[in-house]
Each structure stands twice: as structure tokens, then as C-alpha cells.
Amino acid sequence: MLTLAILIPMLGALALLVSPRLGHQAARAVAVGASVVSFALLLIVWIGFDTAPSAPDFQFLAEVPWIPSLGIAWRVGVDGMSLALSLMSGVLFIASISWPMENPERPVSYYAWFLFLESVSLGLFLVLDLLLFYAFFDLSLVGMFFLIGRWGHDGAQRAALKFFIYTLAGSLAILLAIIGLVLSMAPITFDMRSLIAAQPLAGYDFQGGLILLGFMVGFAIKTPLFPVHTWLPPAHVKAPGPVSAILAGVLLKMGTYGMIRIPLQMMRESFAAYALPIALFALASILWGAIVALGQTNLKRRIAYTSVNHMGYTVLGIATAGASLAGVEKAQSLALTGAVVEMVAHGLITGALFLIAGGIWARSQTYELDAFGGLAKVAPKLTVAAVIAAFASLGLPGLAGFVAEVQIFVGTFAVFPVIAAIGLLGILITAALFLRLLQQVFFGDLPSARAGFPDLSRRESVVLSVLLALVVVIGIYPRWLLDLIGSATRAIVGG
Amino acid sequence: MPIGDLTPEIAIIVAAVLALLFATFAPRRWQARAALIALAGIAVAAVLLVNQIGTTRFTFSGTWALDGASIWARLMILIATAFCILLAPGWFRTDPRHGEYYTILLLSALGAMAMAGAGDLLELVIAVLLSSVTGYTLAAWHRDWALSVEAGMKYFLMGALANALLVTGVTLVLGLLGTSSYGDLSRLFAGGVDASPLLFAGFALIVIGVAFKLGAVPVHAWLPDITEGAPAPAAAFLTVVPKIGAAIALARLVHLIPPEALGLRPLIAVLAAATMTLGNLAALWQDDVRRLIGWSSVAQAGYLLMAITVLGVSPDALTALLTFGASYAIGNLAAFAVVTHLRGRTALADYAGLARRQPIAAAALVLAFLSLVGIPPTVGFLGKLMLFLTTIQGGYLWLAALAAANTAASLFYYAKVMGIMYFAAPPEEVQLLDRPSGVAVWIGMIAVIGGAIMAGTALDVFQLSTLLPL
């Protein structure tokens, strides 16, 4: 089932590849169709998923041997965390593929690359083999490189190249760390479940620290954390809106997902030893992301930097969960649940924000905030969507971001009270920057150049309302999501 | 004499002679048919070689090693040579006497096979010389074209120096230890040998002599000239086939000497580090795709040396060497197949927008480059993975980390080519070579992906291989 969910988008991509004469509409129909089928399969998995405490950690397992002598196999399976993330990715891919192209040239290959990226993103969350995890991690870079470079705006190639090299350097650090980790197993295996069970590096201080460093550097680049976030703003600004949505919504999650799955789960002892420095880096990202975002005059750069800030919250939650303190397992489990909810919420919210930004670019060819004002008068639907998304992003109660951040901070106060207190500042700044953004773009006087600014088309309205409806539902009634994610975090933290 | 042990090599010689006779007497329009004779000879040799699988012994009084390493390497050499032959008829169509090319090619392949099988220092010298002399000819085949002649000349001058160093090294070792046979040398080392600086110098000189064939620092400078100036099918051959033979020859040499005896492994580690770094740095700013592939091929030789560094220290070193050798061969040959198919197009600017006019060729080049970087799911990824694995296992973490940094840097120039092919405006019209070269492009593409899928089997058989002397 999971294998099929990964394969179907890939087959869709291949089908598009061999039929280059297809029209724009037909290509999009194929792409939407393939991603909907894949999502439906994930829904079936979700319905069959058992969240009871007695249920096994990983379900829907399947295994096909590949390189037995190195313990490498096609292994898939899900726990609550990876299922939630892959469901979110499925939604976001359908949304981004349905969203109109910004510069509609060569649509067939555009949709083919999108499906390819969907396949490898789902693959990354669903596989339980470190080598395949790494393979999908790398392939996501290839897909993103071509999408940004080919369909981005002027100067996109440089941004794409920077993104590719920067993140490949990170992934090579991960590869070395993976090798170090599997070499400590006898016999060698890349099976995530055996590695989690074995905790092979327990007791190896120096070696464990080095391997942890490799993983954290690699994942920090992908997440991205301060100070290795500098590839993110150019990549976002040059990428078309739907590609940005995927980059922020899905690809950044690979970093934080990796942090939980590998260092936190497979090397608890080493992670605990360095939980405090990791939390400090998270705090730096929270503050730096928020402050720098406040100073941006470019719409997309501003949203891009809030991603640094939000991913900082996530990593803070992860660091809290990994700290070695007895007696606070409840708080740690809460923080980790919050971190995973933040990943889902940030995916949906920032995905929506970047789609909106893409829509604004498609209508005006600029991201400069100064060029806008009073859009509420001409584009009421766009305004409503942007207001909801911005409020969700700044953590307004009743929306998805709040559910996540409240859990992270409640959990963190029990473990790192000072860091949590300083981190709250980030929320204040984010609130300020989003309010100013809304005020500048949607309220005030309408510049004459924007007089004929068209409102959302039907297709755009449908896509945004689905994403934002999910944001509201998670905000008001988060039980179903928390149950799903909680089943995984309970197993990870043991609270 | 156990003539039967040499049947694959004899088949190659017979085919070379037949091709020469045919080329001498056949009319011009039939010259390309000499390729069929060469292919038939390779097929026979390959079958005979497959029959040797599983053998592990010295033959011909200890001068010729039949073991897993030499058998797999020689099989790779044959397959790679056959692939290069596929590229040749179209390329040399206008050359009235090009039937002789196949003779030289087969003899050069024979030199590489002899390097892989050499079990004696003198045998090694002969093998290197055979491979070199034929190599110069292949490089300078376009004798009316200055670049080709320059490439051949540079190759020859550097080769003369490297061969002289090799012979000096062999003389030193022979004089100091009184034997040139690997079997005897290994017994001597097992019994304990005085590690005199002179002996170290002797082995170091031999290492440099073989490093020349590998295209490693300090005798690497011929490689980019070859890839730029030599006929593209010959460049494909020269950047792959001698390297496979030289890799096994060097591995066998290092394997002779116990890790604690001479300090040869740190030397190789330094060569590896220097080679990969220099190759990548030089490739960074190339705006000529063929020179770029040449420098990348230098860098790849550096990666290959990593496996030799940890030979005898890490249990999987030989497996990594064979795996990486095969994956490099596939990636590089696939890249050259595309270049040849595009009629040797070389300036980076000429690749602009290629993806729109020739999507298959562009995709094949991207896959080949991704394989050379080592990005999954290409065969190059498994090669790199094995390499990193054994290097870390062998305790050379710094070397693995340097290789990782180099890999990230190398992406810059590979991605530059990919970017210009896909993101730039397309050219007017793209001329292609012929149908066989198109087939070669497809074969290359399939091998890059298929090699990764088949990796399980390949690793299993490579893991069973041994390196003589035991």
C-alpha cells in the first residue's frame, strides 16, 4: 500500500515524460489524478492505522530485499508521525499541482517534475531504511533544482545552484554519519527499526558526538537553522509560488523529520548530551528568523524568514524531547507532539502563504511590499485568505499554529524555562511583522497601478479554502491529529 | 606451459591480428567492418574469461595472477572496450584507413588486462608499456589536427617520464630484495623486511609509475588534454580502460606490503587527497565540457585511490574498489557516449538548451553526471557508498570527509552543465553522429540505473573475490 503510494506519482511522472505532446490541461489532469490516487491510498492507511498504546510502533510494514550483504532493503512502514507528515505532503502536493502555473511554458515537464518530487517526498517519510532515506533525501534536491532553475524568475539558476550545492553538502554530512552509525552495528544493517531498538552508539561518547554532529549539520542545513539558512531566501524568492509552497511545506520538514527519526530515536544518549546546544541554535533561529523577517521589504523573503523562525520552534520542541531529565516525560512528549503538529501546521499555513504570494506575483510581477496597498478593495477573497493564513502563522488561538506552539512552549518551560521565555519574544515579533504585512498590502490606499488587480480565480479559491479549512479544523478540533501524532511521540519519548 | 590460462588474452591478440590483416586488404568502404572482427574477438575472450571465474592461483611461474580481482577487472575492460568500439565507426567514417584503429584498441585493452593480471614487477612494466605505447597512438589518431597531436605528444612525454620512474623503482626493489615475483615478495614481507628509505623510494616510484595510467597526481596532466584533443571514442577508452587495469595493479602492489611494514598506505592516502582536490578545483572553472570531464576523471581517480589506501586494513576494500571502478566506468563511458553522439561538441555554450532539441542525450548526460557525483539511484551512488564505508571502516575518516567535501564541490561544475542544458535557450539544430552511437547512449543510460538495481548481486560476487598473493 505504502509502496504504491510512492510509486504512483513516479509512474505518473514517467507517463508524462513519454508523452511530450500532451496539452497543458491534460498534463495537469494526469498530475492531479496521480497525486489524488496516491493520497487516497494514504487515507486508507490512516483509516487502518491503530493508535492504541498497545499497537506496534510501525505499521503497514513491507520489505523487499535489495543488497542483502549490506543489510539494505526496500523497507516501508509508518508511525503516527510519518503518517501525519505524508498526509500533509499529499494535501500540499495536490494543492500546488492544482494551482495555476506562473509562467506556463513546457507544462508537461513541469508537472512531471512535480510528480517526481511528490514521489520522493512521500518516499522519504514512508521508508524505514536509512539508505533509501538518504536516496530520497538527495533526489528531492535534484527535483527541486530543476523546478527552481527552469520555472523560476530571473536569476533563478544561481539560486537553484546555490540551493543544490548547499544542501548536497549537508546531505553528504548525513551520509558520512549514516555510515558511521551503521558501522557500529554488527552485522551491518540500514534497517531503521533495528537501529532504534539497538541504540548502537550508547556509551561511545566521542564517536557518538561526531556522528551526531554530522546528522545535525546536515539536517540543520535542510531545516534550515541559523546560521546555515542562507540558501533559503534566494531559493524562495526565485522559485515559482507552488514550488516555494512545496519547498517550505514539505522539503523543510525532511530536516526536522530526520532529526527526530535518526538522532533522537537512534542515538538517544548522544542526543541528550547535546540537547542544550541544539536548543540554543533553535532559539537563535527563532529570534534571527523573526527579526530579519521584520526587516524585509520583499513579500516572499519575509515569508521565507518566518519559516526559519517556525522551524526554530520545531527544533526547540525536538531538543526538549531529547533532553535527559527524569520525571518530565509528560512535558517532553507534549513538546515533541507540538513539534510534529508545528510541522503539519507550518506546511499547510506557509504552503497557503506562498501560493498567495505566487498569485500576487502572477498578477503584478513584483514582490516589493511598497508596490501594494489596499488590495482588500479589489480582491476581497484574496484578502480573506491572506488574513487567515497570516493569523494562523502568527499563532492566533483557534488556528493550527497556536495548537502547535502552545504545546511546544508548555513542554519547553518544564525543561528549558529560560530558553522558552526568550523564545516567546519570537512570537511577539512574528505577530508584529504579519500585521504590518497585512496592513501594507491589503489596507490603506490602492496604488493606481493595482487598480485592475484581479481577485482569486475559482481554482485558486478552492485550493486555498481547502488548505485554510484544514488549518481552522486543526485549530478548533485538533483531537484527531493529536491522537495520531501522540501515538508516535509516546513511543519515542515514553511519556 | 599452462597455455589454457591465457586463452582470453590469446583471443584478443588473434582478433587484433585479423583486424589488421582485414584492414590492410579491405577496400576503404569496408574499413568499419574491422569493428565486427574486434567485437567477435572480445566476445570470445569474454566467454573464455567467464570460464575462469572462481579460479584463484598464480600461473606461468607466478607471473600471472588468476583471481577474482583480475577476472572481474579484465571482464570490465572487455565490456568497456566493446562499448568504445560501438562509438568508433561513425566517428572515423571519413578516415580511409581506420580499420587499424581496432587493432591498436585491442592491443591497448590487452595492456590493461595484463596490468590487472600482472603477478611480477617485470610483467607489470611490460603491461604498462604496452598500454602506454598504444595509448599514445590512439590519442594522436587525428594526425592532421593540432589538438589531437598535442594530446598524444603530452601523453607521450609524461608517459616517458612515468615509465622511466617505474623502471627505476622496479630496479631498486629488485636490487634490494633480489626478486620481482609477487609471491616471493609477499613471503619476504611476511618474514619481516628492513624498511629502508631506499626500499620505500623504490615502491613509491612504482606507485607513481602506475599512477600515471590511473591519471593520479603527480602524473595526471595528460588527462584533460586527451579528453579534449583525442578522438572522442579514444578518449572514452583512455579515461576508463587503462584506469581499471592500473587500479588492480596498484591494489595488488599495495596488498603485497603489510600495513605496518612500509608506510605505503599513508602515501597513497595523500595522493588520493591531492588528486581528488586538484581534479575538482581545476574542473570548477572549465568552460569546455570535454576538458571538464577530463578533470572530473582525475578527481575520480582520487576517489578510487581511497579504496586502495585501506586495502588490507578494511575487509571490504577490494569490494569497494571493484564496485567503484565499475560505477566510474559506467558513468564516464555514458558521458562520453553522449559527447560522441553529439559529434564531440565541446564548448559549454554549445550545450545550451540541448534538452529541448535532444531530450534523450541531455537526460543521459544528466544521469551520467549524477552518477559521477554519486547521487542515488544511480550506480555511482553505490560506488561512493562502498568507498565511504570502507574508508571509514579502515580508520581514514579524514579522507572520507575530504572526499565528501570534494563531492559537494564537484556538483558545482556538473550542475553548471546540467543547468545550461535545461535552463538556457535552445540552439538551431543539433547534429548527431549515427545510430550505433545513439544505441550507446541508451545503453549508458540503462547501465547507470540498472547497475544500481543489480548492485546486490554485483556486491555479492565482488565480495567473494580475492587478491593474490594471499
Q: How far is B301 from chain A (nearest CA, A)?
A: 19
| Cα(B83)–Cα(A409) distance, integer angstroms | 62
Helix or strand holding residue A64 (H, E): strand A59-67
Closest CA of chain A from B34, distance in Å: 37
Cβ of residue B181 closer than 8 Å to a chain A Cβ:
no
Q: Is residue A368 within 8 Å of residue A252, measured between CB atoms?
A: no
CB contact B190 to A (< 8 Å)? no
Contact check, Cβ <8 Å, A168/B411? yes
To the nearest whole Å, the CA of A136 is away from the closest chain B CA by 8
CB contact (8 A) between residue A65 and residue B377: no
**ipTM at complex level:** 0.85
Burial track B285-300 (b if 16+ CB lie within 10 A, e otherwise) = ebebbbbbbbbbbbbb
Residue B53: strand, helix, or coil: coil
- Nearest CA to CA, how far is B409 from chain A (Å)? 7
Domain assignments of chain B as residue spans, ordered by start:
3-463
Contacts of B462 in chain A (CB under 8 A): none
- Å from B329 to nearest chain A CA? 21
The pLDDT of residue B346 is above 90? no
Q: Considering only CB atoms, which chain A residues are within 8 Å of B463? A: 69
pLDDT beyond 80 at B470: no
Q: Does B359 lie at the interface with A, CB-CB under 8 angstroms? A: yes
Position B453: which residue type?
A: I
Q: Are A382 and A245 in contact (CB under 8 A)?
A: no
Query: Quick one: DSSP state of residue A443?
Result: S
A150 part of contact set with chain B, CB < 8 Å: yes
Helices (H), A296-416: 299-322, 329-364, 375-378, 380-393, 400-415
Closest CA to B297 of B328, B327, B274, B271: B328
Determine the residue of chain B that is closest to A133 in CA distance. Answer: B376
Contact between A273 and A322 under an 8 Å Cβ cutoff? The reply is no
| Residue matched to cell numbers 561513425 | B90
The bridge status of strand A72-78 relative to strand A59-67 is antiparallel
Interface check for B442 against chain A (CB to CB < 8 A): the answer is no
Question: CA of A106: which chain B residue's CA is closest?
Answer: B356
Cell of B130: 604496452
Distance CA B90, CA B233 (A): 10
Query: Least CB-CB distance to A70: which of B407, B412, B459?
Result: B459
Give me the pLDDT at residue B290, please: 92
| Long-range pairs, A299-302, Cβ under 8 A, ≥24 | A299/A357, A299/A360, A299/A367, A299/A368, A299/A369, A299/A437, A299/A441, A300/A236, A300/A237, A300/A244, A300/A354, A300/A357, A300/A361, A300/A367, A301/A233, A301/A236, A301/A237, A301/A367, A302/A369, A302/A433, A302/A437
Give the nearest chain B residue to A172 (CA atoms). Answer: B404
Q: How far apart are CA B218 and CA B216, in angstroms?
A: 6
For residue A155, give how far its alpha carbon lies from the nearest alpha carbon of chain B (Å): 11
Name every chain A residue with its beta carbon within 8 A of the beta carbon of B404. 169, 172-173, 175-176
Are A368 and A297 contacting, i.e. CB atoms less than 8 angstroms apart? yes
CA nearest B423 in A: which residue? A150
Is there a contact between B375 and A142 if contact means CB atoms under 8 Å apart?
A: yes
Phi, psi of A64 (to 5 degrees): -130, 125
Domain that holds residue A108: 2-493
CB contact under 8 A, A165 and B412: yes
Distance of alpha carbon A468 from alpha carbon B191, whole angstroms: 77
Q: Indicate the burial class of A198 (C-beta count within 10 angstroms; 0-12, 13-18, 19 or more).
A: middle
Cell numbers at A249, concatenated: 511545506
Q: pLDDT tens, B280-315?
A: 999 988 889 999 999 999 999 999 999 999 998 888
Residues B422, B427, B428, B431, CA torsion sign: negative
**Residue of chain B minimizing CA distance to A174:** B404
Total domains in chain A come to 1
Q: Is the pLDDT of residue B52 over 70?
A: yes
Query: Do residue B375 and residue A138 have CB atoms under 8 angstroms apart?
Result: yes
On whether any CB of chain B is under 8 Å from the CB of A294, the answer is no
Nearest to A116 by CA among A12, A193, A243: A12
CB within 8 Å of B452: residues ≥ 6 apart: B376, B377, B378, B379, B381, B382
- Alpha-carbon distance of B88 to B434, in angstroms, equals 10
Dist. CA A283–CA A293, nearest whole Å: 15
The reply to whether residue A157 touches residue B359, judged by beta carbons under 8 angstroms, is no
| Location of C-alpha cell 554549445 | B350
**Residue with cell string 587527497:** B273
A247 DSSP 8-state letter: I
What are the backbone angles phi and psi of residue B120, rounded to the nearest 5°? Answer: -155, 140
Q: What is the DSSP letter of B123?
A: H
A169 neighbourhood in chain B, CB within 8 Å: 404-405, 408
- Assigned C-alpha cell, A131: 539508505
User: Chain B residues with CB inside 8 Å of A157's CB?
Assistant: 419, 423
Q: Do B463 and A69 touch (CB under 8 A)?
A: yes
Supply B57's cell numbers.
Answer: 592461483
Task: Name the strand (E) or helix (H) holding A66.
Answer: strand A59-67
Coil, strand or helix at B66: strand
Put simply, the answer to whether A69 touches B423 (Cβ < 8 Å) is no
Kindly identify which residue of chain B lies nearest to residue A168, measuring between CA atoms.
B408
Task: Give the minimum alpha-carbon distance from B234 to chain A in angstroms, rounded to a whole number.
Answer: 31
For B16-48, the pLDDT digits (tens) are 999 999 999 988 888 889 999 999 999 999 999
Mutate to test the interface with A, among B398, B399, B418, B454 (most CBs of A within 10 A): B418
Contacts of B191 (CB under 8 A, 6+ apart): none
**Interatomic CA distance for residues B183 and B191, integer angstroms:** 13
Q: Do A175 and B404 touch (CB under 8 A)?
A: yes
In this predicted structure, what is the pLDDT of residue B1? 66
What distance in Å separates the CA atoms of residue A381 and residue B426, rounded to the nearest whole number? 40
Task: State whether B400 and A176 contact (CB < 8 Å).
Answer: yes
| C-alpha to C-alpha distance for B5 and A335, rounded to whole angstroms | 69
Nearest to A145 among B401, B407, B415 (CB): B415
Q: What is the pLDDT of residues B425-441, one digit of tens each?
A: 777 778 888 888 999 99
How many residues appear in chain B?
A: 470
- Burial string for A53-79 (b: 16+ CB within 10 Å, else e) reads eeeebbbbeeeeebbebbbbbbbbbbb
The distance between the two most distant Cα atoms of chain A, rounded to a whole number of Å, is: 70
- The single-letter DSSP state of residue A105 is S
Q: Higher pLDDT residue, B96 or B383?
A: B383
Q: Which three cell numbers stand for residue A61?
A: 510494514
Residue B87 in grid coordinates: 562509438
CB contact under 8 A, A69 and B385: no
H/E element, A250 = none
Q: Which of residues 271-310 of B touch A (CB under 8 A)?
A: none
Give the whole-angstrom CA distance, residue B420 versus residue A4: 35
Whether residue B455 lies within 8 A of chain A, CB to CB, comes out as: yes
**Distance (Å) from the C-alpha of residue B169 to the closest C-alpha of chain A?**
37
> What 3-state DSSP class applies to B68?
helix
Give the burial class of B349: count Cβ atoms within 10 A of its Cβ; 0-12 exposed, 13-18 middle, 19 or more buried.
exposed
Q: Say yes or no: B395 contacts chain A, CB-CB below 8 A.
A: no
What is the count of residue pairs from A and B with beta carbons less than 8 Å apart? 84
SS3 at position A21: coil
| Phi and psi torsions of B58, nearest 5° | -85, 150
Contact B388 A156 (CB under 8 A): no
Within an 8 Å CB–CB cutoff, is residue A105 touching chain B? no
Residue whose C-alpha cell is 586494513: B313
Low-confidence ranges of chain A (pLDDT < 70): 495
Is A36 within 8 Å of A143 (Cβ atoms)? no
Tell me how far CA of residue A158 lies from CA of A154, A362, B426, in angstroms: 9, 21, 19
What's the start-to-end Cα distance of chain B, in Å? 23
Backbone angles phi, psi at A62, to 5 degrees: -150, 150
Least CA distance to B393: which residue of chain A? A183
Nearest CB to B401 within list A146, A165, A176: A176
Q: Identify the three-state secondary structure at position A172.
A: helix
Give the Å distances, CA to CA, from A364 to A106, A175, A355, A450: 22, 43, 14, 8
C-alpha count within 13 angstroms, C-beta hemisphere, residue B93: 10
